[in-house]
C-alpha cells in the first residue's frame, strides 16, 4: 500500500514538476524519500513477440471494434535526478526505463542492555514489642498486581490467566488466594457489588457456587435474617417476663422472694452453658441443627408456662423455665455468626445494628406491657399465652426460612482450582456423601419463582443436617481460647458489675414497691422500665451503627476504649448510688418526721436514675466491647475470616461470663433485709465503690500495657507467635492476603 502511494505521488509531482523550478530540489528530495516502485516482471521472449503491435494492426479498424490508436506518450519529469529515463525509438514510442533502486540503510544496532541495579535485601521483621501498632483490619495489605480502576459484577467467572501487574490497564482485577488454590497458582477475579454498590469490592469475596449464602438472592437473605430476629425478640421477652410480678409469684407459690427470682437467674446461667456448647459444635455440624433444637426446647417451655398459674406449681414453672433457658443459648450465640455468613461487609452494619436494637428493646420494653397483662384474672400466665401465639409464625419461619449458613469457601476455592467437584450444602441425596465430601452441584435450571420443581429444589436444601467437617482439637478449642484472651477477661471485669447491678435492681422492683407502704400494682411497676428502654438505645445505636459508619472518627483518637470506659463507669456509678440511696432514705421510717413513709419517694426520678444505670451498662456492653474487640482482632488476625470468627468468639466469651454473674446476682441479692431497706443501701454503696475502683484500676492497666494485652490476645487465639522476648521472628502469622478465606 505504501508503494502504491509513492507511485501516485511521483505521478502527481512529475506532472507539476515544471511549473516551479525553484521548488525542484525540495520536490525531488521528497520524491527520493519514497521507496521506488518494484521493477516490472519480465515476460518470455515468445510472449513479447506476439504482443508487439504493428502499424497496420494499429491503424486498421473494423465496423464492430473501435480503432486501435497508440496511447499518448507518458510525461517525463524535468526534475534533476528524476525517477526514470525516457528514450524515443524509431517507431515514435517513448520508452521509460526505471532507475535502479537506492541502496538500503544499514540495519540498526540494538542498544546495549542496562544491567539491573543491585538492591539491598529486605530488612528483617521487627519484634512484636518494637513493631509499630498498625491494625491489619484498619490498614489492610494491598493485593499484588491489582488495578484500582476495573469494575466487574458479582457474576464474574474465575479467570485462569495470570493477574495483571500494571495499575493502569483496564483488565479485571485478580487476587491470589492463600488457600489450596494458591499452591496451584490459580487466581480469582475480584468481584464487586451491583447497583449503587457497583464500585464496592465485595468483602468477603464469594465463591462461584450458587449455594454459597453470600450468593443467595436478596429475598432469601432477608427472610433468613428476619426469621432470626423474630426468635431473638421472643427469647428476649421471656428473659424479663417475671420482673414486674416476682412478688405475686412468691405469694402464689408460697416460696421466698429469692426462689421467685431464681425463675430468672437459673435460665440465664443455663443459656450461657448451652450457648457455649452450640458455638463450639456449630463449627463441625453447622448452625441449623441447633436452631431447630432450640426452637423445640423454647416452644416446650413457653407452652408449658401457660398452665402453671396455680398454687403448688413452682416445680412445674421452674421446669418450664429450664426448657426456655436451654432454648435461649443458640439464639444468643449463633445469630451474629449467621449475619456474618450471609451478608457482605457493606451490608452487615445495618443488620448488626438491627440485631442489637432488637436484643435491647425486647429486654426492657415488654415489662411495660407485661405488667398490664398480669393484672387480669389469668395472672402472669397471660403473658406466656400471648407469646405462644407467635409460634404460628416463628415455627414455619425457622423451618422454611433459615437454611444452613455455614459454608466452607476455602474448600470451594481449592476444589475449583484442582477441577474437583464443587461443594454444596446437602447430605447424601442432598449434595453430601456419607464420607463428608461434597458432590458436584447440578447445573442451574431456568429460574421460575413458583413451580413444583422450584419448591422441591428449595425444600431439598432445608435438610436439618446439611454441613459436616472433620473434628479436630484446634477446631474444638477455637471458642474456648478466645474466651481466655486478655481482652475478653478485661472487658468482663470492667462491665459485669454495672450490668449485674442493673439486673439485680430490676428483679427487686417488685419486692420494693409492691408491699406496703406503696403497694404498687404490676402495671405501675412496669412504668419504671421506660427509662432503661429509652436511654439504653442511645449507646446501642451510637456504637453499632455510627461507629461502623464513622469509624475514622472513633479510631483517630488514641485510647478510644478508655474514654468509652470512663463514660460507662460514671453513668453506672451515678445510677447505682442514686437509686439505692434515694429509695433507702425515702422508704425507711423516720420517727421524728410527720410525713407518711413512702410519700417522699420521687417515682419519676427513680425511673430516670434507673435509666442512667441502664445507659451506662449499655455503653460498657456495646461501646467498650465493640471498640476494643474490633481493635484487638484487627491487630492479631491473619486474615478477614479469622477476624470475623474471633469477634464472635470473644464477644460471646464476654457474654458467657456476664450471664453467669447476672444469674448469681439476681438470685443472691434478694434478701429479707430489704424490707427495712438496710440491705439496699449497703448493696448500693458496695457496688458503687467497686465499680469505680475495679474499673479505674483496669483502665489504668489498659493505658499502660495495651500493646502487651493485644499481643496476649493474638497468642491466646493462635494468631500471633510471641516467641522468646526480643525474638525478631515473633509477630503475626501471615498467610497471603488479609482478605483471603480462613
Q: How far apart are CA 143 and CA 234, in angstroms?
A: 44
Q: CB–CB of 647/626 below 8 Å?
A: no
Q: CB–CB of 340/348 below 8 Å?
A: yes
Of residues 671 and 91, which shows the higher confidence score?
A: 671
Least confident of 96-110, 144-158, 617-631, 689-703: 144-158
Residues 6+ apart with CB under 8 A from 69: 58
Output the pLDDT for position 75: 55
Least confident of 197-201, 314-318, 327-331: 197-201
- Collapsing DSSP to helix, strand or coil, 424 comes out as coil
Output the pLDDT for position 136: 41
Output the pLDDT for position 15: 44
Residues 6+ apart with CB under 8 A from 78: 17, 18, 24
Q: How far apart are CA 250 and CA 243, in angstroms?
A: 12
Q: For residue 226, what pLDDT band results from cuts at 50, 70 and 90?
A: very high
pLDDT higher than 90, residue 338: yes
Of residues 681 and 92, which shows the higher confidence score?
A: 681
Per-residue cell: 741: 478465606
For cell 474466651, the residue is 483
Of residues 221 and 14, which shows the higher confidence score?
A: 221
CA angle 268, 274, 279 (to 5 degrees): 125
Give 528's DSSP letter: G
Of residues 124 and 421, which shows the higher confidence score?
A: 124
CA distances from 553 to 440, 522, 547, 631 (A): 47, 44, 8, 14
Q: CB–CB of 667/268 below 8 Å?
A: no
Taking each helix axis from N to C end, the angle separating 218-239 and 391-401, rounded to the nearest 10 degrees, works out to 140
Region 390-400: mean pLDDT is: 95
Output the pLDDT for position 531: 93
With b meaning 16 or more CB within 10 Å and e meaning fewer, what string describes 660-689? bbbbebbbebbbeebeebebbbebbeebbe
Output the pLDDT for position 693: 92
Residues 6+ apart with CB under 8 A from 621: 495, 499, 658
CB atoms within 10 A of CB 98: 13
Output the pLDDT for position 79: 45
The terminus-to-terminus CA distance of the chain in angstroms comes to: 60
Q: How far apart are CA 143 and CA 163, in angstroms?
A: 11
List 62's β-bridge partners, or say none: 65
Query: Alpha helix locations (H) across 163-217?
Result: 180-183
Output the pLDDT for position 720: 57
Taking each helix axis from N to C end, the angle separating 288-305 and 391-401, rounded to the nearest 10 degrees, works out to 170
Q: Which of 463, 452, 459 is nearest to 425 (CA)?
A: 463
Taking each helix axis from N to C end, the angle separating 640-668 and 335-342, rounded to the nearest 10 degrees, works out to 160
With b meaning 16 or more CB within 10 Å and e meaning fewer, what string describes 515-528? eeebebbbbbbbbb
Residue 63 burial by Cβ neighbours in a 10 Å radius (0-12, 13-18, 19+): exposed
Instruction: Count Cα neighbours of 231 within 13 Å in the Cβ-side half-sphere.
Output: 33
Region 516-541: mean pLDDT is: 91
Give 621's DSSP letter: I
Output the pLDDT for position 50: 46
Q: Which of 741, 720, 528, 736 is nearest to 133 (CA)?
A: 720
Per-residue cell: 482: 478466645
Q: For residue 162, what pLDDT band results from cuts at 50, 70 and 90?
A: very low
Residue 83 burial by Cβ neighbours in a 10 Å radius (0-12, 13-18, 19+): buried
For cell 431497706, the residue is 677
pLDDT higher than 90, residue 288: yes
Per-residue cell: 211: 449455594
Region 280-288: mean pLDDT is: 92
Instruction: Count Cα neighbours of 42 within 13 Å in the Cβ-side half-sphere.
Output: 2
- Collapsing DSSP to helix, strand or coil, 84 comes out as strand
**Strands 84-88 vs 174-176: parallel, antiparallel or unpaired:** unpaired
Q: What is the CA radius of gyration of the chain?
A: 42
Output the pLDDT for position 126: 52
Q: CB–CB of 678/589 below 8 Å?
A: no
Per-residue cell: 340: 456474618
pLDDT higher than 90, residue 710: no
Region 29-35: mean pLDDT is: 49
Per-residue pLDDT tens over the stretch 178-225: 444 444 455 567 888 888 888 888 888 888 888 889 999 898 999 999
For cell 475495679, the residue is 694
Q: For residue 635, what pLDDT band results from cuts at 50, 70 and 90?
A: confident
CA distances from 614 to 565, 570, 579, 611, 655 (A): 14, 12, 12, 5, 16
CB atoms within 10 A of CB 594: 5
CB atoms within 10 A of CB 238: 24
Residues 6+ apart with CB under 8 A from 544: 349, 352, 353, 356, 357, 622, 626
Output the pLDDT for position 266: 95
Mean pLDDT of the chain: 74
CB atoms within 10 A of CB 584: 21
Q: Which of 252, 253, 203, 225 is nearest to 641 (CA)?
A: 203
With b meaning 16 or more CB within 10 Å and e meaning fewer, what string describes 366-402? bbbbbbbbbbeeebbbbbbbebbebbeebeebbeebb
SS3 for 444-477 is: CCCCCCCCHHHHHHHHHCCCCCCCCCCCCHHHHC
Q: CB–CB of 572/498 below 8 Å?
A: yes
CB atoms within 10 A of CB 471: 11
Q: How far apart are CA 175 and CA 201, in angstroms?
A: 12
pLDDT > 90: what percent of the chain?
Answer: 37
| φ and ψ of 306, to 5 deg | -75, -10
For cell 428502654, the residue is 533
Amino acid at each position: 500500500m505504501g508503494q502504491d502511494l509513492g507511485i501516485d505521488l511521483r505521478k502527481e509531482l512529475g506532472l507539476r514538476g515544471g511549473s516551479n523550478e525553484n521548488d525542484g530540489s525540495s520536490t525531488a528530495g521528497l520524491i527520493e524519500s519514497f521507496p521506488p516502485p518494484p521493477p516490472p516482471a519480465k515476460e518470455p521472449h515468445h510472449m513479447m513477440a506476439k504482443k508487439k503491435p504493428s502499424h497496420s494492426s494499429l491503424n486498421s479498424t473494423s465496423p464492430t471494434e473501435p480503432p486501435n490508436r497508440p496511447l499518448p506518450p507518458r510525461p517525463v519529469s524535468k526534475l534533476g535526478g528524476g525517477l526514470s529515463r525516457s528514450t524515443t525509438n524509431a517507431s515514435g514510442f517513448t520508452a521509460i526505463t526505471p532507475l535502479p533502486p537506492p541502496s538500503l540503510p544499514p540495519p540498526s544496532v540494538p542498544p546495549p542492555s542496562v544491567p539491573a541495579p543491585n538492591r539491598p535485601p529486605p530488612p528483617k521483621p521487627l519484634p512484636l514489642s518494637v513493631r509499630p501498632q498498625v491494625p491489619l483490619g484498619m490498614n489492610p495489605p494491598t493485593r499484588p498486581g491489582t488495578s484500582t480502576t476495573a469494575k466487574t459484577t458479582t457474576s464474574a467467572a474465575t479467570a485462569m490467566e495470570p493477574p495483571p501487574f500494571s495499575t493502569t490497564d483496564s483488565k479485571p482485577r485478580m487476587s491470589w488466594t492463600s488457600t489450596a488454590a494458591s499452591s496451584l497458582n490459580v487466581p480469582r477475579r475480584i468481584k464487586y457489588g451491583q447497583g449503587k454498590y457497583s464500585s464496592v469490592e465485595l468483602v468477603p469475596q464469594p465463591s462461584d457456587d450458587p449455594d454459597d449464602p453470600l450468593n443467595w438472592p436478596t429475598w432469601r437473605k432477608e427472610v433468613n435474617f428476619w426469621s432470626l430476629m423474630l426468635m431473638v425478640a421472643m427469647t428476649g421477652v421471656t428473659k424479663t417476663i417475671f420482673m414486674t410480678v416476682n412478688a405475686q409469684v412468691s405469694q402464689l407459690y408460697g416460696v421466698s422472694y429469692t426462689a421467685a427470682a431464681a425463675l430468672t437467674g437459673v435460665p440465664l446461667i443455663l443459656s450461657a452453658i448451652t450457648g457455649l456448647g452450640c458455638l463450639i459444635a456449630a463449627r463441625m455440624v453447622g448452625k441449623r441443627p441447633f436452631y431447630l433444637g432450640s426452637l423445640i426446647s423454647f416452644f416446650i417451655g413457653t407452652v408449658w408456662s401457660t398452665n402453671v398459674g396455680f398454687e403448688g406449681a413452682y416445680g412445674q414453672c421452674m421446669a418450664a423455665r429450664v426448657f426456655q433457658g436451654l432454648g435461649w443459648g443458640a439464639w444468643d450465640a449463633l445469630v451474629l455468626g449467621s449475619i456474618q455468613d450471609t451478608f457482605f461487609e457493606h451490608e452487615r452494619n445495618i443488620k448488626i445494628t438491627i440485631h442489637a436494637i432488637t436484643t435491647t428493646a425486647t429486654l426492657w420494653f415488654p415489662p411495660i406491657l407485661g405488667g398490664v397483662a398480669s393484672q387480669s384474672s389469668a395472672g402472669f400466665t397471660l403473658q406466656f399465652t400471648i407469646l405462644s401465639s407467635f409460634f404460628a409464625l416463628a415455627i414455619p419461619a425457622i423451618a422454611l426460612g433459615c437454611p444452613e449458613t455455614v459454608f466452607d469457601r476455602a474448600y470451594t476455592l481449592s476444589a475449583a482450582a484442582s477441577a474437583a467437584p464443587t461443594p454444596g450444602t446437602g447430605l447424601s441425596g442432598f449434595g453430601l456423601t456419607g464420607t463428608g465430601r461434597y458432590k458436584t452441584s447440578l447445573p442451574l435450571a431456568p429460574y421460575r419463582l413458583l413451580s413444583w420443581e422450584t419448591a422441591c429444589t428449595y425444600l431439598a436444601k432445608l435438610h436439618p443436617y446439611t454441613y459436616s467437617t472433620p473434628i479436630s482439637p484446634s477446631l474444638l478449642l477455637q471458642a474456648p481460647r478466645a474466651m481466655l484472651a486478655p481482652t475478653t477477661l478485661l472487658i468482663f471485669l470492667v462491665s459485669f458489675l454495672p450490668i449485674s447491678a442493673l439486673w439485680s435492681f430490676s428483679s427487686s422492683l417488685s419486692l420494693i414497691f409492691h408491699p406496703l407502704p406503696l403497694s404498687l400494682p404490676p402495671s405501675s411497676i412496669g412504668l419504671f422500665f421506660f427509662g432503661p428502654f429509652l436511654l439504653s438505645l442511645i449507646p446501642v445505636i451510637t456504637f453499632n451503627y455510627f461507629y461502623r459508619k464513622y469509624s475514622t472518627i472513633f479510631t483517630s483518637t488514641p485510647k478510644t476504649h478508655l474514654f468509652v470506659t470512663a463514660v460507662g463507669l460514671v453513668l453506672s456509678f451515678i445510677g447505682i448510688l442514686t437509686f439505692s440511696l434515694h429509695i433507702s432514705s425515702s422508704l425507711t421510717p423516720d420517727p421524728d418526721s410527720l410525713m407518711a413513709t413512702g410519700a417522699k419517694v420521687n417515682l419519676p426520678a427513680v425511673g430516670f436514675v434507673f435509666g442512667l444505670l441502664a445507659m451506662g451498662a449499655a455503653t460498657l456492653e456495646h461501646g467498650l466491647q465493640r471498640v476494643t474487640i474490633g481493635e484487638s482482632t484487627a491487630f492479631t488476625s491473619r486474615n478477614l475470616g479469622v477476624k470475623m470468627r474471633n469477634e464472635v468468639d470473644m464477644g460471646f466469651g464476654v457474654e458467657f461470663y456476664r450471664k453467669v454473674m447476672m444469674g448469681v446476682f439476681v438470685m443472691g441479692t434478694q434478701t429479707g433485709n430489704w424490707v427495712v431497706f438496710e440491705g439496699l443501701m449497703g448493696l448500693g454503696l458496695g457496688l458503687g465503690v467497686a465499680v469505680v475502683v475495679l474499673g479505674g484500676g483496669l483502665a489504668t492497666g489498659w493505658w499502660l500495657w495495651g500493646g502487651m494485652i493485644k499481643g496476649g490476645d493474638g497468642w491466646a487465639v493462635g494468631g500471633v507467635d510471641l516467641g522468646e522476648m526480643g525474638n525478631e521472628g515473633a509477630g503475626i502469622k501471615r498467610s497471603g492476603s488479609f482478605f483471603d478465606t480462613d
